[in-house]
Amino acid sequence: MSNTIINSTKAQYLKDYQVPPFLVRNTELTFELNSGFTQVTAVVQYYKNGEHNLPLVLNGEHQKLISIQLNQQLLNENDYELEEDTLTFTPQVDEFELTIISQIDPANNTSLEGLYLSEGAYCTQCEAQGFRRITYFQDRPDVLSTFTTHIIADVKQYPYLLSNGNKISEHTLDNGLTQVTWQDPYKKPCYLFALVAGDFDLLTDSYTTNTGRKVALELFVDKGNLHRAEHAMASLKRAMAWDEERFSLAYDLDIYMIVAVDFFNMGAMENKGLNVFNSKCVLADSQSATDADYLSIESIVGHEYFHNWTGNRVTCRDWFQLSLKEGLTVFRDQEFSMDLGSRAVNRIQQAKIMREHQFAEDAGPMSHPIRPESVIEMNNFYTVTVYDKGAEVIRMLHSILGEEKFQQGMQLYIERHDGQAVTCDDFVSAMQDASGIDLSQFKLWYSQSGTPIVNIETHYNEAQSIYQIKITQGTPATADQPEKQALHIPINVAFYSEDGEPLALTLDGHTSNEQVINLTQTNQTFTFDCSKQPIVSFLRDFSAPVKLDYQYADDTLAQLILAETSAYTKWELMQTLYIQHLKLNVENAEYVYPTLITELLAELLSDTRLDKAMLAEVLKVPSFASLLEHFEQADVDAILRAQNALALHIAENLKTELTQVYQNNYRQTYQYNGEAIAERALANACLSILAELATDQIQALIVEQYQQSDNMTNTLASMSAAAKLKAQSSFSQIMEDFNQKWQGDALVMDKWFATFAKQDNDDILTRLDQLQQHPDFNWNNPNRVRALVGQFAMFNYPQFHHKSGRGYQYLAKVIKRLNSINPQVAARMITPLIQYKKLDQHRQNLIISELKKLAELPTLSKDLFEKISKSLPTS
């Protein structure tokens, strides 16, 4: 009944997959929600999957077994074997009904897996293996069942009793209790089961599909937050319409429900018909949420809705196939956001995730393909590789096939596999069969880990009027795979003349200034016919998740930056220019940044045709995490110094221009639309750069914006800019004012915690300890912990990587504490410690020392054991 950690560290392997020996026709669950233990009765119709004499092995954790009945006959303890996490017996019949009664303790379930309490409301999280905390069951995604769910509770205390599917009955029982019954007509794996019981505010709406089905939409939020639910509801309706228009997929039930809870390990969960969301991914109004929050909510609401077909109606055969649903659905939510908003800025954010997080994962101890080969703890599958690199693999498929053939492949995939649990191979086969394009080599992206490096050499032969591009690909050995093969890599290129005009070149009879080079060999040369020497933009729009090794001259970069027709690629080329000179400064502290950088920025800022939100991204100096990827072993202090010097160089040389752009784009009256979002982004990017100057004039501007702000976007930008000021009095005053205004609203206060956590201040660790005493901080709430300690470890690079090692010690102390509270959160927060290989040897030794101490914990969770054991040196 306790949260004692089950520490079975045996690895599971994809190659060992076997079909389930028993399948399920129907599952009937009864929950009796009491103030103490909750009693769960599971009545399950089993049948053998083929001819065999294998036992039925049911998964079960953290519950007290009360009784088992086989075909209504009570079994005694000699009839089955009960172990710490399994219940096993061998039935003598091919079909049978098993009734299991057990008790669970949601009130003390701080892991937030299975059934637990979130501020007085019952809710569930069953993916990946949380259902085994509810009842004994075959907790695997390839066992599909229809579900009928009875919830018995005091309806005065819990007015809303919700589960999957359609509500088919509600009636009053004795002792003031009410029983509500839900029935889901679609077979699903148990990880998609959901139950919610609580007292909420309810926002209702409806949507009529293109098939004529009228769908009731219900969004449940904590009392008092109804005014913050409207954006999520509008986002849901936009997602439903978009999925019909772009993918021809319409919703299939008569009701769609979303419940927002504050205690949640992830962002949201796509349970069939009843999505459970982290409240930060639902609640928004202009006073409490930033533009980034609004856009994130729209994306996440879309993501979970899109899972209805890519994840629910067609699901995974096993958890090694997780990218089947997540990579595909991330691609779909990315396209949703790009179709509705700025395609360039969305692509920039996607590329940043890959370069700042996924490339590091590829190079670290937890490297794995998007379809991993082995795992100890299934929760460790939820990675940027599986999700975001998985989406990039789908995007490459889309690039190779084109929209029309890709959509034909999607339709074939759904038609073939609706109602099934399938594999990544099944998806690729559908794409290949629908398009007629051989994807056998492309499938290597699913099984090969690591970040490919693409080296390019070019040569123009004026006499023969040909331009040659020689490309070499290679993927460095990773922790899980020493040997690599050549991949199918689509490389988008564009050609321009020296005066910046598009230039058409001919390859294999196809003439265009924009082309896709399909690299399929280790070494390949592409020969173009052309009348004059071009300048070339490579890997446009980040057409493949690779590192590009090609040295541009500064003047060529300048020409391309101004000539490029792709807004994303303008940003990309500007990043390339930044990085080339940042590396020079890292190598030589006396290096002076060239005026070319600010001259180009000035020209871009004056171009009224450009996307202002993209220009805001152009003004941002490359992050520490992205710069690490350009060094075999990094000098942390030199990188930080180089970043600061570049930001100051821009601020000093463009003070007048930045001030003017700020004034032209700053609005005192809030509006929420694409134009206003872009203007706020650009104005606040200018303010952030100007804050580097820390003059009295800039300080006054920052304080004035904070005081005048009527929206959280400008408020938070002011707070972040004030954190850079040398005169800390302004920052302290702003932070105290914010605390007075928002204390008690924990979700908003997360922004306050995060702003403190990211401040480069030598007393930061003392401040972190003090903030843990704040009434809005709660160790049991993942949002609070991530906002404070997570932001410190992930984004306060100067203090986290302090040479003394105190930042590493602090995070290790927090992880030790979280290990016994919420192992899943602890495992996700350890990432900055295990990705240490690119740091200097001194810092590596400090981190290894902390990891060894954590490894010695007697109750180390499986989640942490896997990551730590793979991270420590083998000798």
For the chain, give the number of residues.
Answer: 875
Structural tokens at position 5? 């950690």
Strand ranges in 502-571 using DSSP code E only, listed in sequence order: 505-507, 510-512, 514-519, 523-529, 535-538, 547-549
pLDDT in tens, 549-559: 999 999 999 99
> Annotated catalytic, 304?
yes
Give CA 559 to chain center in angstroms: 35
Average pLDDT rounded to a whole number, residues 383-387? 98
CA-CA-CA-CA dihedral for 710, 712, 716, 718, to nearest 10: -10
In order of 45, 623, 643, 687, the CA distances from 653 in angstroms are 74, 21, 16, 15
- Parts of the chain belonging to CATH 2.60.40.1840: 453-550
8-state DSSP, 386: I
Q: Which CATH number fits domain 453-550: 3.40.50.970, 3.40.630.30, 2.60.40.1840, 3.40.50.300?
A: 2.60.40.1840
CATH number of 18-199: 2.60.40.1730
**Residue 35 has what pLDDT?**
81
d(CA 815, CA 236): 36
pLDDT in tens, 322-364: 999 999 999 999 999 999 999 999 999 999 999 999 999 999 9
pLDDT in tens, 124-165: 999 999 999 999 999 999 999 999 999 999 999 999 999 999
Average pLDDT rounded to a whole number, residues 636-654? 98
Give the pLDDT band (50/70/90) at residue 726. Answer: confident
- Parts of the chain belonging to CATH 2.60.40.1730: 18-199
pLDDT in tens, 469-481: 999 999 999 999 9
**Residue 875 has what pLDDT?**
67
- Parts of the chain belonging to CATH 1.25.50.10: 551-693
d(CA 1, CA 66): 12
The residue from 28, 270, 298, 304 that is catalytic is 304
Q: Which is nearest to 586 in space by CA: 644, 642, 649, 646?
A: 642
The yes-or-no verdict on residue 5 having pLDDT over 50 is: no
**Residue 874 has what pLDDT?**
86
Mean pLDDT of the chain: 96
Give the pLDDT band (50/70/90) at residue 249. Answer: very high
Element (H, E) at 446: helix 444-447
The yes-or-no verdict on residue 807 having pLDDT over 60 is: yes
Question: Quick check: 306 and 336 in contact, CB under 8 A?
Answer: yes
The yes-or-no verdict on residue 235 having pLDDT over 80 is: yes
Structural tokens at position 526? 């592409």
Give the 3-state secondary structure of 742-791.
HCCCHHHHHHHHHHHHCCCCCCHHHHHHHHCCCCCCCCCCHHHHHHHHHH
pLDDT in tens, 748-783: 999 999 999 999 999 999 999 999 999 999 999 999
Average pLDDT rounded to a whole number, residues 179-187? 97
Average pLDDT rounded to a whole number, residues 715-739? 94
Sort strands 64-70 and 12-13 into parallel, antiparallel or unpaired: unpaired
**Residue 2 has what pLDDT?**
37
8-state DSSP, 622: P
Give the pLDDT band (50/70/90) at residue 4. Answer: very low
Give the CA diameter of the chain.
Answer: 95
The backbone torsions φ and ψ at residue 81, rounded to the nearest 5 degrees and listed phi first, read -120, 120
Assign a CATH topology to domain 551-693.
Zincin-like fold (1.25.50)
